[in-house]
Structure 1
């Protein structure tokens, strides 16, 4: 029953005054209470929305507390454990929220095939990446054009990546590495017999890969300009290749303005070279620019000046990041494993020793027949793929194949990935899958010289013993069902794959010929805060000139 006063009547004035004393004294206090409470309400409503029954055809969704942000922090900090944890809970296919984007991951070799082998009308790379790449590469190339045009552009570049050209590149790359070692202060110890020195492997590999790529693919004008203002433009443009740029392509920040200005100036730089060559009648050079001048689209038109310039920019930027990352991981592992370093050196002596004890120059064909060197590069790419996630935008709803399993190893109905989602494949997951690879987490190059096993199967896919298809730039192994995909697969498989093996092999062989290497610490952990997976600090390699 209600309490009353002793007289039996309510003391209404006293009660009203008591209630008023417990209320905020101003509208500001009300706003403060609302401001504190509203986020809690939004978070709780977001959680409630996720636990309520949903469309049975939707893939399972990774629970998150904060709306819009979703799983961005966990995924961005350490994506592979994030994938593994949710694979165990939800199976091969699940959706997570990242800064407003709904991303459906499809993991493992079958997930690779689902995403990378999908039709471009359903899963589109241009929609996923053009906002990120176009400001860096420029307009009307790569993901800024329809897929059939991009495939033609890949074919144009592939002409410049012929075996005949590769034969001349080996000596060029070796010369660039030797010149770099002779001129850089960090290699001063190499001039003193028996003295140990050290270098930051990422800093060194970033410079060496751009020098060697420009010398071989870009042309004499670009290579000579790397010692001048062009290097500054490259750095400004490179500043647009970060996760922040991928998520937010047009922020009003100084780095974005530098990116845009650098693209404009670099475009003008390439166009100026092109015009000077044509005016001087120098159109028969042996580099990529000369090759592009001679190419024609299917409708018969030649490439426009800015298209040639932007393809040259894309070729320089895209290849440099992946090669410098892989080269860094290779040298770190070799320095940490002296038995492997010795095996590489012994292989060099066996094939290239001259009567005077010196090691003669390699040829392209000879380098392709060095199993130890090859296995070291392949194993490094397996454990450290440069790109951990490959995305496509979903243009039409796509059913998920029943072969992609739930946690119990069975499919509970058929999931459908909705239009507007992104789909994601992860080489970083399939390449360390313990159900596929023996001692999956262990860096073990010998696996690539075995006659059977996952590595042997991956090499068969690569050679084209699996399904081959021509997407418009020449027949390639489809390879989308392979668990080993450091260069992607399907229509967007990297056409620079063979050049990358050539470049990395020559650099590694030159270092091992010149130096004993050692690492005073373990191989560093992955840094996932960059677009390309790089090693964290410490990453100093110690070296001593071979006697």
Structure 2
């Protein structure tokens, strides 16, 4: 017993020494500046979680473009120089890996655990379903479903002024139409009145449940749900799992190639039906959580900036006027038309610059050097996390953009009306000057479908509805700061608008 006790005591002492060395971590030669905060283990977790944008901006002012912080026992190196992003974005997966963090969030947020999960291989497999030859059919289906949600709803068709929150209108419209496009309709016949009515009811039911879940997802990602919130979160997920069960989805018509491919992918992984359903909820969030907020911010900026609205609406009306006689509404499924909207594209890019704030994260799998654009070499430690935050730089960098906090709809236009792509930092032309879609191997595979969908929604709203702010002096709302790091930011509060359907 004495020997066993001595062995146990020695093991305990070694564990304590390991923990002490972890907590007493010091900056080594060649490593970025280290800022551990004043609270043991917790470090800067509270500041980081409360307002990552403000906190990381302050750290940049204090330490420069690269630094390491401690947050809840984890050491995170943050890189904020876009000239150096390539060194991270294209580094080998055996050194910098995205999969570990993705698996952690999948489990925390959606109870999804997939065997042999490889996010990069999954993206390669799904990319073709959202691009190239499949893009036209998705674009066409999205228009039909947007028309169902916006133009078939009797609440929007009475030509009387209605009041509604702009965020709710934008988010619900894009979510419901996007859900029907990817997950299928009640009937193959888009023009069947009874089927469209059922699509309206069903998509609204899914949206209402999803919206309740969305209010809790950021806390779930950070493991900050209270006991009552955990109970509600679990109940909402169960309701959504019923709506997204394999049996329910298999009965739907007009199922997208994306859905068919993803379901087969899960079967090939050996995933049972229960986990397939959970994965479908994960994908619902992945595919539908950003487009609605993007439409909200774009419309709000247009309503607050009359010259921008006039320019965008003039471009839209010009397209409708020149093509209506031969193509009717179907011109906004034509990719050539959708690609020929430079004013709209600039306004959208400016909106995304101001409101898209994803983290691009990698787990450091081995001690390694990171060469920066300045020529300096920084050492990264195995077990740390490396994070890029393009929202701070390039997107809100005053050296790159004059008055970066302001919305300028023509910021991405040259004087001749072509797209502007020349932006500079320290005299160097930037490859990465706006990164709402990510970059490198983790660029959003649904970008082209999402852009088409956003354009179609805004085109329909501007051409079919009179829109105005209830209070013209209403302020642009602050961001919901807990959303930093997870894609499109959402407003802290909604903005009430008045709208009515135009006489066509």
- Identify whether the pair has TM-score above 0.5, normalized to the shorter chain: yes
Counterpart of 2:448?
498
Cα deviation for residue 486 of structure 1 reads 0.6
Match status 1:151 vs 2:89: no
Cα deviation for residue 66 of structure 1 reads 2.3
Q: SS of the counterpart of 1:348?
A: helix
Q: TM-score, normalised by structure 2?
A: 0.77
Q: Distance in 2 between matches of 1:198 and 1:208?
A: 15
Cα deviation for residue 495 of structure 1 reads 0.7
Q: Distance in 2 between matches of 1:308 and 1:458?
A: 45
Cα deviation for residue 94 of structure 1 reads 0.5
Q: Distance in 2 between matches of 1:233 and 1:321?
A: 13
Counterpart of 2:397?
433
Counting matched residue pairs gives: 455
Q: TM-score, normalised by structure 1?
A: 0.71
Q: Distance in 1 between matches of 2:354 and 2:279?
A: 30
Counterpart of 1:522?
475
Counterpart of 1:483?
433
- 8 Å Cα contact 1:458/1:484 also seen in 2: no
Cα deviation for residue 446 of structure 1 reads 1.2
Q: Do the aligned partners of residues 401 and 356 (structure 1) sit closer, same or farther apart at CA in structure 2, a change above 3 Å counting? A: closer
Q: SS of the counterpart of 2:75?
A: strand
- 8 Å Cα contact 2:142/2:453 also seen in 1: yes
For 1:287-333, what per-residue CA distance to the aligned partner results, in whole angstroms no more than 9, with x for missing partners?
43334466699xx8898756754553333111222112211111110
Q: Do the aligned partners of residues 253 and 126 (structure 1) sit closer, same or farther apart at CA in structure 2, a change above 3 Å counting? A: farther
For 1:257-289, what per-residue CA distance to the aligned partner results, in whole angstroms no more than 9, with x for missing partners?
454565566556432146658xxxx8x954433
1:80-91 equivalences in 2 (<5 Å):
80-91=53-64
1:415 to 378, 381, 384: 378
Give unpaired runs (5+ residues) of structure 2.
Answer: 1-19, 187-197, 424-429
1:221-300 equivalences in 2 (<5 Å):
221=186, 223=199, 226-227=202-203, 230-231=206-207, 234-235=210-211, 237-238=213-214, 241-242=217-218, 244-248=219-223, 253-260=227-234, 263=237, 266-267=240-241, 269-273=244-248, 285-292=255-262
For 1:327-373, what per-residue CA distance to the aligned partner results, in whole angstroms no more than 9, with x for missing partners?
11111101111121122221122222267899744233212211122
1:99 to 72, 75, 81: 72
Q: Distance in 2 between matches of 1:287 and 1:340?
A: 37
For 1:228-270, what per-residue CA distance to the aligned partner results, in whole angstroms no more than 9, with x for missing partners?
764565356545521x222228x67344345456556655643
Q: Do the aligned partners of residues 455 and 111 (structure 1) sit closer, same or farther apart at CA in structure 2, a change above 3 Å counting? A: farther
Q: Do the aligned partners of residues 96 and 453 (structure 1) sit closer, same or farther apart at CA in structure 2, a change above 3 Å counting? A: farther
Q: Distance in 1 between matches of 2:364 and 2:355?
A: 28
Counterpart of 1:68?
41
Q: Distance in 2 between matches of 1:453 and 1:368?
A: 14
Counterpart of 2:6?
none
Q: Do the aligned partners of residues 339 and 175 (structure 1) sit closer, same or farther apart at CA in structure 2, a change above 3 Å counting? A: farther
Greater C-alpha Rg? 1
Q: Distance in 2 between matches of 1:132 and 1:206?
A: 23
1:377 to 320, 339, 348: 348
- 8 Å Cα contact 2:35/2:67 also seen in 1: yes
- 8 Å Cα contact 1:338/1:517 also seen in 2: no
For 1:402-439, what per-residue CA distance to the aligned partner results, in whole angstroms no more than 9, with x for missing partners?
4358xxxxx4xx43121121111011012122222333
1:211 to 170, 176, 184: 176
Q: SS of the counterpart of 1:76?
A: helix
- 8 Å Cα contact 1:375/1:448 also seen in 2: yes
For 1:19-62, what per-residue CA distance to the aligned partner results, in whole angstroms no more than 9, with x for missing partners?
xxxxxxxxxxxxxxxxxxxxxxxxxx99x969xx7422331123
- 8 Å Cα contact 1:238/1:259 also seen in 2: no
- 8 Å Cα contact 1:71/1:96 also seen in 2: yes
Cα deviation for residue 506 of structure 1 reads 0.8
- 8 Å Cα contact 2:174/2:288 also seen in 1: yes
Match status 1:534 vs 2:499: no
Q: Distance in 1 between matches of 2:220 and 2:271?
A: 28
Q: Distance in 2 between matches of 1:113 and 1:97?
A: 25
- 8 Å Cα contact 1:206/1:324 also seen in 2: yes
Q: Do the aligned partners of residues 395 and 452 (structure 1) sit closer, same or farther apart at CA in structure 2, a change above 3 Å counting? A: farther
Larger deviation: 259-268 or 331-340? Answer: 259-268
Cα deviation for residue 123 of structure 1 reads 2.0
Q: SS of the counterpart of 1:220?
A: coil
Match status 1:317 vs 2:285: yes
Q: Do the aligned partners of residues 265 and 122 (structure 1) sit closer, same or farther apart at CA in structure 2, a change above 3 Å counting? A: farther
Q: Distance in 1 between matches of 2:389 and 2:327?
A: 44
Q: Distance in 2 between matches of 1:225 and 1:138?
A: 27
Q: SS of the counterpart of 2:371?
A: coil
Counterpart of 1:121?
94
Match status 1:330 vs 2:306: no
Q: Distance in 1 between matches of 2:418 and 2:91?
A: 23
- 8 Å Cα contact 1:169/1:216 also seen in 2: yes
Aligned-residue CA RMSD (Å): 3.9
Q: Distance in 2 between matches of 1:252 and 1:442?
A: 37
Match status 1:392 vs 2:362: yes
